Structure 1
Amino acid sequence: GGQRQYVAGLAVYYAKGNQEGRSDKGVILNGIYYGKDLVLEAGLRGNVANPGAAFGPSQYVAVTFGSDERRAVIVRAERAKETYQVLTTGTEKVDFMSHSIGVQWRERMTRDGLLILGLGYYKNPSYARTSIDVGWRWSFR
């Protein structure tokens, strides 16, 4: 029969900000299921931002159809409680929800080259943005 694979991940991180007293630290827990031409991934992140030790959890889910050997389509959605956003007025927005969704198309163009095209959408109470991504991945095989 077909081979199935389950993977669980645990990661910790720390990031120091450009301004004194600004930092982020947290933990990520995720699970991945690898099937034939299908990958399912879901994860949780717990982030603590300073100053103020503000807690901002997030959750995401992603589905990959196909594989990088020929063609893949990836759909990803995330919901997060964000801790800080510095506004153009110099003020900060604290403790707010955001949502994002993205779709990415990966197409094998050569033995070592992969074309990547993506669309993304992000929204929080202050603004929304749409993005277009174009990239090329070169594999050293």
Structure 2
Amino acid sequence: MQTKGGDTLDASLLLMPLVRFVSATDPRWLSTLTAIGDQLADDGVVHRYRSNDGLDGEEGAFSACSFWYAECLARAGDTKKARRVFESVLNYANHLGLYAEEFDTKAQLAGNFPQAFTHLALISAAFYLDRELDDRNSQEWRP
């Protein structure tokens, strides 16, 4: 939620399992993850929120949130969807592999560029997705 007592969903909630505030497999969290996917995601890219923020123009998808979404899916065990989302978001980089703060459905980059925060989210999502895919293909125990 964007505000205490509010009812507007905000994709910054995706940070909750990433900082271990809640388990990525907690049923309450999984309901929240589903709501974010249903209300804020379009073909894998995630909008921060859908409410009117008083600024002119339409907000694009928030690139860091899109990678957080992929990582949350991977941590929740939905590796198939996580991989699909991750690979979809990779297509929004420019010719040098750099990401802006936001992008629209026409792959136009917007906002701060390059956005280091997004690149950290990409690395973290890639790490956890790779780990989950390895675990699915290996019977080795990992601490």
Per the TM superposition, whether the score is higher than 0.5 is: no
Q: Greater Rg, structure 1 or structure 2?
A: 1
Q: Higher strand share goes to which structure?
A: 1
The TM-score normalised by the length of structure 1 is: 0.23
The TM-score normalised by the length of structure 2 is: 0.23
Q: Higher helix share goes to which structure?
A: 2
